Amino acid sequence: MCRHLGYLGPPVPLRSLLFDPPHSLATQAWAPRDMRGGGTINADGFGAGWWPPGAEAPVRHRSAMPIWTDTTLPVLAGVTSSGAVLAAIRSATVGMPVVETAAAPFTDGRWLFSHNGVIRGWPSAVAALARDLPVDDLLTLDAPTDSAILWALVRGRLRSGQSAAKAVAGVVTDLVDVAPGSRLNLLLTDGRQMVATTVGHSLSVRPGRDSTLISSEPLDTSAAWQAVPDHRLVTATATEVEIIPLLST
Ligand code: GLN
């Protein structure tokens, strides 16, 4: 069920997140270890977004192909460094299209967003929540998928001035109510902070002295990885990580 990761810290080559670690995102595409709720591989596309040093907004590369079929990316990722990265690989939910625009990260201005999971009862389960969205948002959705509408809901709250943590936690708790059984691991960053949730899927964090990694599965065997329990909200910068129960937000 999709995998994602976020990194904040000193600039590192994208390759050191996507390809080099023993259990890198590229390895998780064909040999994930903790797929909860179905799916065996993540071959329905991938995406990476990152801030080039000094840039205001992130750059994004997405594809509908399995990450291992892109033979140029490992080379480019070896010469592209960033201190803020969000990357994802996709296992499409049955019935949802395998197209480039359905692959995370979704973006808007300085934001990058990813969803790992599924909305139960899609699409009728979200009808009540989507009614509050401007029709322009619905007409310009990246793709007809649950993740794209989740992004529209989070983005709407961000645009109305909510903090990243409040926007993400608000959308997730609303959905837990109207679509019980959904799997809602969200990941949002603006390059300075990351917000993540766990509802129904695995997530680990690796806090470091000057960097933070958040990943669906640990990238290596370092003892610094901490598994995040279910129903948690993670907020992080490069130097601080806080994990609190979702429902206390
Ligand atoms: N349901 C989403 C999609 O199809 C996310 C997929 C996943 O987490 N496996 O894109």
Distances in whole angstroms, Cα of residue 193 to Cα of each of 28, 37, 84, 148, 212: 24, 29, 9, 21, 10
Return the DSSP state at 152.
H
How far, in Å, is the centroid of ligand 1 from the Cα of 73? 23
Ligand 1, residue 119: give the atom nearest the CA: 1
Ligand 1, residue 147: give the atom nearest the CA: 2
Higher pLDDT, 7 or 139: 7
Q: What is the mean pLDDT of the chain?
A: 95
Strands of 232-236's sheet, edge to edge?
A: 106-108, 111-118, 183-189, 194-198, 232-236, 241-245
Ligand 1, residue 93: give the atom nearest the CA: 4
Q: What is the per-residue pLDDT across 6-58, written as a single tens digit (0 to 9) for each?
A: 999 999 999 999 999 999 999 999 988 987 877 788 999 999 999 998 899 99
Q: What is the per-residue pLDDT across 97-133, written as a single tens digit (0 to 9) for each?
A: 999 999 999 999 999 999 999 999 999 999 888 888 9
Tokens of 16: 């050191």
Is-contact 88 145, C-beta < 8 A?
Answer: no
How far apart (Å, rounded) are the C-alpha atoms in residues 18 and 170? 30
Tokens of 85: 């990265």
How far apart (Å, rounded) are the C-alpha atoms in residues 6 and 35? 18
ipTM: 0.96
State residue 249's pLDDT score. Answer: 52
CA atoms within 13 A on the CB side of 247: 5
User: How would you write 16-70 as a 3-class SS string?
Assistant: HHHCCCCCCHHHHHHCCCCCCCCCCCCCCCEEEEECCCCCCCCEEEEECCCHHHC
Return the DSSP state at 88.
E
Work out the average pLDDT over 75-102: 97
pLDDT at 3 > cutoff 60 = yes
- Cβ–ligand 1 contact at 3 (below 6 Å): no
Active site members: 2
How far, in Å, is the centroid of ligand 1 from the Cα of 154? 16
Residue whose structure tokens are 């907020």: 235
pLDDT at 202 > cutoff 60 = yes
pLDDT band of residue 230 (cuts 50, 70, 90) is: very high
Domains and CATH numbers, the chain: 3-248 (3.60.20.10)
How far apart (Å, rounded) are the C-alpha atoms in residues 174 and 190? 23
